[in-house]
Amino acid sequence: MKFYPFITLSLRTVVAFSALAGSAFSLVWLEQRQAAAPLPSQRRWNETSPLVVVDAGHGGHDGGAVANGVIEKNMSLDIAKRVMKELEAAGVRVVMTRSGDRFLSLDERAALAGEHGADAFVSVHLNTEGEGNEAEGIETYFAESRALSARQLVPGGDGRGQRAGGSAEFASRVQRLVCDATGAENRGVKARDYAVVARAACPAVLVECGFITSASEVVRLKEAGYRDKVADGIARGVVLFLQTQSAQAPVVAAVLKADGGSRGR
């Protein structure tokens, strides 16, 4: 009988980790399905619908990059509004940092995540290279460390732990799905402590949606249909990230409960 508590704990742990393995398989299946299926209409979430802050880069007196007849602040706002539309159709609540041509500081943009208790933050930008350089493609950035102001808004946040890891996973999903949707060159996920994502108190990414300095890519970016594809890919990545986070939560809780029980004995 003295082994009974140990056997019970072992069985609980096996069950918990079996559930975790099953969840991992389910998440892989979900990711593969998400890349091909249309975004769900009025997606039903288990609890309150998640909230995402969508940030259109630049604005007001800050026009951002200018090349080939494109002003970054205008195109980033156009794409951001399309992302908002796709997310809202999937049942996600959205807060825009700006819906018109106005300037906000990076701190003001990032602070909205904490003010609204956002589940995710995505910033939309366009890329540039030197004159005559034909670099093109899409790349997504996340911050490896969190600013002190962001850590203070996250209970237990240490700046490099789960919150940063969540952003890396978030960036990976957005990058893959936006490249799948557009067929653009995949320039990968990159870690940079850009203020607008480092200071957001939730998983946050910055998407460079293409190079306006590229003669070929800018032609595509000027087409509304292509910008729809960019927005669709970003929205798919956001929704998939939110879904996987929701799916992982109860399983992780079960594992932690079993582990905590062992220490209690």
Q: How high is the pLDDT of residue 162?
A: 37
Q: Is residue 259 part of a domain?
A: no
Say what percent of the chain tops pLDDT 70. 67
Joined together, the tokens standing for residue 236 give 């798919």
Closest to 93 in 3D by CA, of 166, 134, 18, 43: 43
Strand pairing partners for 142? 191
How many domains, the chain?
1
Taking a C-beta distance cutoff of 8 angstroms, is the pair 76, 58 a contact? yes
Strand pairing partners for 190? 141
Q: Is residue 16 part of a domain?
A: no
Query: Average pLDDT of 132-136?
Result: 81
Host domain of residue 216:
46-244
Q: Is residue 180 part of a domain?
A: yes
Given the DSSP bridges, would you call strands 93-96 and 70-71 parallel, antiparallel or unpaired? Answer: unpaired
Q: Is residue 250 part of a domain?
A: no
How many other β-carbons are positioned within 10 Å of the β-carbon of residue 162?
A: 12
Q: Is residue 226 part of a domain?
A: yes
Q: How high is the pLDDT of residue 255?
A: 37
Q: Is residue 188 part of a domain?
A: yes
Distance CA 196, CA 60 (A): 17
pLDDT digits (tens, 9 = 90+) for 35-51: 556 665 445 565 689 99
Q: Is residue 225 part of a domain?
A: yes
3-class SS of residue 11: helix
**Residues near 47 by beta carbon (within 8 Å), at least 6 away in sequence:** none
Supply the angle between the helices 162-182 and 4-36 in degrees, to the nearest 10. 30
Domain of residue 141, CATH code: 3.40.630.40
Instruction: Say what the pTM is.
Output: 0.77
How many other β-carbons are positioned within 10 Å of the β-carbon of residue 150?
A: 24
pLDDT digits (tens, 9 = 90+) for 39-82: 654 455 656 899 999 999 999 999 999 999 999 999 999 999 99
pLDDT digits (tens, 9 = 90+) for 237-264: 999 999 988 766 544 344 334 444 433 3
Ranges of beta strands (E only) in the chain are 51-56, 66-67, 70-71, 93-96, 120-127, 138-142, 186-191, 204-211
Q: Is residue 25 part of a domain?
A: no
Joined together, the tokens standing for residue 18 give 């079996």
From residue 127, alpha-carbon distances to 12, 109, 209 in Å are 50, 20, 7
Distance CA 256, CA 265 (A): 15
Query: Average pLDDT of 88-94?
Result: 96
